[in-house]
Amino acid sequence: MYRVVNLCYSTSLRMEINACQPAFLAPDCAGRTYLSLRGQVMEHVIDLRSDTVTQPSPEMREAIAGALVGDDQFGEDPTINLLQDRIASLLGKEAALWLPTGTMANQVALRVLTRPGDDVIVSQESHAVWHETGGSAANSGVQFTAVGAKGVFTLDEFLDAIKPRGHVVYPPTTLVEIENTHNRAGGVIFPQDEAVRICEAAVANGIASYLDGARLWNAAVASSRPPSECAAPFDLVSVALSKGLGAPGGSLLAGSAETIKRCVRYRRMLGGAMRQVGLFAAAGLYALDHNMNRLADDHANARLIAERIATSHRIVVDLDTVQTNILVFRLTADAPDAPTVVARARERGLLIFAFGPRTIRAVTHLDVSQEQCQRAADLLLDIVDQWAGPR
**Position of minimal CB gap to ligand PLP:** 102
Taking the complex as a whole, the smallest distance from the CB of residue 103 to ligand PLP amounts, in Å, to 3
Q: Is the Cβ of residue 162 or residue 219 nearer to ligand PLP in the bound state?
A: 219
Residue 118 found at the interface with ligand PLP (CB under 6 A): no
Residues 364, 362: Cα–Cα separation, whole Å: 7
Taking the complex as a whole, the smallest distance from the CB of residue 319 to ligand PLP amounts, in Å, to 21
Q: Is the Cβ of residue 114 or residue 242 nearer to ligand PLP in the bound state?
A: 242
48, 152, 199, 214: residue in contact with ligand PLP (rule CB under 6 A):
214
Q: Which of residues 79-108 bind ligand PLP (CB under 6 A)?
A: 101-103, 106
Taking the complex as a whole, the smallest distance from the CB of residue 213 to ligand PLP amounts, in Å, to 8
Determine the size of the site formed for ligand PLP (CB under 6 A).
12
Q: Is the Cβ of residue 97 or residue 384 nearer to ligand PLP in the bound state?
A: 97
Dihedrals phi, psi of 57, to nearest 5 degrees:
-70, 165
Taking the complex as a whole, the smallest distance from the CB of residue 74 to ligand PLP amounts, in Å, to 26
Residue 124 found at the interface with ligand PLP (CB under 6 A): no
Residues 106, 241: Cα–Cα separation, whole Å: 15
Residue 383 found at the interface with ligand PLP (CB under 6 A): no
Residue 212 found at the interface with ligand PLP (CB under 6 A): yes
Q: Residue 43 in contact with residue 80, Cβ under 8 Å? A: no
Q: Which of residues 345-364 bind ligand PLP (CB under 6 A)?
A: none
Residue 123 found at the interface with ligand PLP (CB under 6 A): no
Q: Is the Cβ of residue 127 or residue 358 nearer to ligand PLP in the bound state?
A: 127
- In the 3-class helix/strand/coil scheme, how is the chain assigned residue by residue? CCCHHHCCCCHHHHHHHHHHCCEEEEECCCCCEEEEECCEEECCCEECCCCCCCCCCHHHHHHHHCCCCCCHHHCCCHHHHHHHHHHHHHCCCCEEEEECCHHHHHHHHHHHHCCCCCEEEEECCCHHHHCCCCHHHHHHCCEEEEECECCECCHHHHHHHCCCCCCCCCCCEEEEEEECCECCCCCECCCHHHHHHHHHHHHHCCCEEEEEECCHHHHHHHCCCCHHHHHCCCCEEEEECCCCCCCCCCEEEEECHHHHHHHHHHHHHCCCCCCCCHHHHHHHHHHHHHCCCCHHHHHHHHHHHHHHHCCCCCEECCHHHCCCCEEEEEECCCCCCHHHHHHHHHHCCEECEEEECCEEEEECCCCCCHHHHHHHHHHHHHHHHCCCCCC
Residue 127 found at the interface with ligand PLP (CB under 6 A): yes
Residues 265, 136: Cα–Cα separation, whole Å: 17
Taking the complex as a whole, the smallest distance from the CB of residue 294 to ligand PLP amounts, in Å, to 19
Residue 183 found at the interface with ligand PLP (CB under 6 A): yes
Q: Is the Cβ of residue 101 or residue 276 nearer to ligand PLP in the bound state?
A: 101
Taking the complex as a whole, the smallest distance from the CB of residue 219 to ligand PLP amounts, in Å, to 11
Taking the complex as a whole, the smallest distance from the CB of residue 179 to ligand PLP amounts, in Å, to 5
Taking the complex as a whole, the smallest distance from the CB of residue 361 to ligand PLP amounts, in Å, to 10
Taking the complex as a whole, the smallest distance from the CB of residue 249 to ligand PLP amounts, in Å, to 8
Q: Is the Cβ of residue 312 or residue 324 nearer to ligand PLP in the bound state?
A: 324
Q: Which of residues 233-292 bind ligand PLP (CB under 6 A)?
A: 240, 242, 251
Q: Is the Cβ of residue 231 or residue 335 nearer to ligand PLP in the bound state?
A: 231
Q: Residue 368 in contact with residue 46, Cβ under 8 Å? A: yes
User: Which residues lie near ligand PLP (CB under 6 A)?
Assistant: 101-103, 106, 127, 179, 183, 212, 214, 240, 242, 251
